Amino acid sequence: MDPTTGRAAAGRAPGGRAAAASGRSAEGAGLGSELTEFAPDLADSDFDLAVFDLDGTLVDTPRGIVETFLAAYGAMGEPGPAPDPAAVRATIGLPLERAWATLLGVPETDPRVAEGVRQYLKLFRELVLPRARELLFPGVPEGLAALRARGVTLAVATSKFYASADALLTAAGLRELFAVVVGADQVAHPKPHPESGLLVLERLGTPADRAVMVGDTTHDLLMARAAGMRSIAVTYGIHSRAELAGAEPTWVADTFDEVIEAVTGVASAAVNTVDAATAAAVVNAANAATAAAR
C-alpha cells in the first residue's frame, strides 16, 4: 500500500504551515493549492523516525560541492575544458561514481572515474569540512534538537560515501544526534532505489509507516515512496518546486521550521522553541553519552 495518501503536486498552506501534497483532481494539484484533505494527517504525523538527506537538506553544501568537483577535475589533468558548473550541480544527489561518469561521459568502470572520486574526496576534506558549521541551513541544529526532545529518532540516508557523510556531520557538530547514517557505498543500489531507506528501517526496527524521509531532490522522494515511507520535500535545495512536485511528496516545506512542523504535526512556533544554547546542550550530551560508551 502506498502510504503517501496525496497524489499530486504540493504547495504552501495558509499561515506558513508546511503544505501537504493534496488533491485528487486538477483543482487540487496546483503548486499553490491549500491544505485540504491532509489537515487531519498533520495532527497524526508525530513520527517515530525522521530520515534526512544531507547535502541541500541539512547542509548548504551545493556550492562547495561544485567547487570541489572543478578543483578535482583540474587536479586530474584532464584535457579540454572543465565541466560547466551547472552540469556539476545537476549531478548532486547522485553517487560519486555515477556523477563522475556522467560528467566525463564514460562508464563508471573507467579508471578516470576512480581517480576523480579519489581527488574529490581529498579536496572535499580540505575545502568543505572546515566550513561545515557555517553551512548549516537556518534552524537545523535547533530543529533536530527539538525532534530529539520529542523522542523522534533521527537518521541520515545520503548519496555521499559513509566516511564523507560521517566527517561532514561531525564537523558540523551534529553526528551524535543521528542513530544511523547510511552512505551510498553501504548499499548495492543507491537512491532512488529504496535500499538505503529500507536499510535504515531495518537497523532501527521501525515500520515504514512510522517513518518520514526529508530531502531536496526527487531521488530522496522516490526512494521514500518505494520504501513505504512518507516524505517531505524541501524547496531550498537542489531541485525546483516543480521537479519535486513530480515525485509526489507527502508535504512540501520552504524552511527547516516547516520540516519540523510536518514531522510533529504541531505548529513550528510551538515545537521549535529550543534555543541555540539548549540545542548545543543536546548535542554535547549526545557526544558525551557516545564517548562514555566507547
Q: What is the pLDDT of residue 293?
A: 42
% of the chain residues with pLDDT over 90: 68
For the full predicted model, state whether its pTM sits above 0.85. no
Q: Alpha-carbon distance 277 to 283, whole Å?
A: 10
Q: How confident is the model at residue 269 (pLDDT cuts 50, 70, 90)?
A: very low
Which residues are tagged catalytic? 53, 55
Query: For 56-108, how does the pLDDT look when each residue is reduced to its tens digit (9 = 90+)?
Result: 999 998 888 999 999 999 999 988 899 999 999 889 878 899 999 999 999 99
Query: For 8-48, how does the pLDDT look when each residue is reduced to its tens digit (9 = 90+)?
Result: 233 333 233 455 554 322 333 333 322 222 333 433 447 99
Residue range 39-59+136-293 forms a domain whose CATH class is alpha beta
- Give the number of residues written for the chain: 294
Q: How confident is the model at residue 249 (pLDDT cuts 50, 70, 90)?
A: very high
Higher local confidence (pLDDT), 293 or 267? 267
All CATH 1.10.150.240 domain ranges in the chain, comma separated: 62-127
Neighbours of 80 (CB within 10 A): 6
Grid cell, residue 78, equals: 584532464
Position 144 pLDDT exceeds 50: yes
Q: Average pLDDT for residues 113-117, to the nearest whole number? A: 96
Domain 62-127 grouped into CATH 1.10.1370.40: no
Q: What is the pLDDT of residue 51?
A: 98
Which residues lie across from 52 on neighbouring strands? 156, 214
Q: What is the pLDDT of residue 79?
A: 86
All CATH 3.40.50.1000 domain ranges in the chain, comma separated: 39-59+136-293
Position 181 pLDDT exceeds 60: yes
